[in-house]
Chain A
Amino acid sequence: MAILIQFAIGLIFGVGLIVSGMSDPAKVLNFLDVGGIPAGTWDASLAFVMAGAVAVTFIGFNRVLRRGRPFFADRFYLPTRNDIDLRIVAGPAIFGIGWGLVGFCPGPALTAIGFGSVSAVIFVAAMFAGMVLARFVAHLPSLTRFVTPADPLET
């Protein structure tokens, strides 16, 4: 049952990406193209995607987190760190370059596969490789000596 619910939630997320226009890299790149503002080619739509998503999540999280526990799990798993280290700047800077090169972030790239796009399959295969590489590098003993937690996904 929990698995089916998570499939349905993924579907809602994906439909949101399609309806919002985020599944179209051209639209994302035109949003990131602030140099296009004078020429009138800048597409501000993505700001509205963020606004809609954050508004609903802000209100919804407040309500959900007031419950004792999630429906299918024993507790909430929330990131607790609030320190600013090198990783929280370097990682997004690297990700941002990849995002600006193609116009795909991880969610829309996965949804694009369902469009039947070969380009999306190539991008996602490389993206998976990058993800595995990042965790592998982070777990190298020479790095874990200086950085805790070793896995950047543990926050």
Chain B
Amino acid sequence: MIATAFTPTASLLGGALIGLAAVLLMWATGRIAGVSGIAARLFPPYEDREFAGRLAFVAGLVAAPVLVRLVTGGLPVQTIEAGTAVLIVGGLLTGFGSVWGSGCTSGHGVCGLSRLSVRSLVATITFMAAGMATVFVMRHWS
């Protein structure tokens, strides 16, 4: 594992920006800023005509590091320790589970908790606990 610095101020500020984006999306489109739902709806079955808007939102997510690099001249460190097999298994589980559970960290954790949704509270507690249990097994059970 790689040690990381505790960054309460930057994390609070970045979190506030995520919240601002969620509020702006609700103001503009009337929809929850849940990344798993937005990403999953880029694929069939299509239920509405919002494809272009969703693609634009995802493009914005992908373009964000480009903007940060342009403005600040660099990017913060990003360390991905997982190998290819773990990336594939982790990606499959993340995609399947977030859709099966109707949302991920943004849809349930940010928007759902802000709306005081009981389902989102159950979902958030569950994925936090599952994530913690997984890391515990990976790091401390060998």
Interface residues of A (CB under 8 A from B): 2-27, 29-30, 32-36, 41, 43-46, 48-58, 60-61, 63-65, 67, 69-79, 81-84, 87-107, 109-115, 117, 119-120, 122-135, 138-139, 151-155
Contact = CB atoms under 8 A, between A and B. Distances in A.
B40 A131 contact: yes
A100 B133 CA distance: 8
B4 A49 contact: no
Nearest to A150: B45
Interface of B: 1-8, 10-33, 35-37, 39-43, 45, 47, 52-54, 56-68, 75-82, 84, 86-106, 108-115, 117-119, 122-124, 126-136, 138-140
Contacts of A81: 119
A149 to B, nearest CB: 10
B119 A155 contact: yes
A70 B114 contact: no
A2 B28 contact: yes
A135 B113 CA distance: 24
Contact of B134 (A9, A27, A101, A106): A101
B57 to A, nearest CB: 4
A95 B76 contact: no
A6 to B, nearest CB: 4
Contacts of B114: 54, 57-58, 61
25 contacts: A5-B28, A9-B24, A12-B21, A18-B76, A20-B14, A21-B76, A24-B79, A30-B2, A50-B113, A52-B12, A54-B109, A69-B30, A70-B30, A77-B31, A82-B118, A91-B123, A105-B35, A115-B65, A123-B90, A126-B89, A126-B92, A127-B95, A131-B39, A153-B41, A155-B119
Contacts of A75: 30
Contacts, number: 528
Contact of A60 (B20, B100, B139): B20
B87 A11 contact: no
Contacts of B124: 92
Contacts of B2: 26, 30
B66 to A, nearest CB: 6
Given A10-B58, A95-B97, 7 more contacts: A7-B56, A30-B2, A70-B29, A71-B27, A91-B97, A128-B39, A134-B100
B87 A123 contact: yes
Nearest to A15: B64
Contacts of B4: 21, 24, 26-27, 30, 43, 45
Closest 4 A/B residue pairs (Cβ):
A91-B101, A10-B60, A14-B64, A20-B14
Contact of A107 (B16, B90, B105, B136): B105
B27 A64 contact: yes
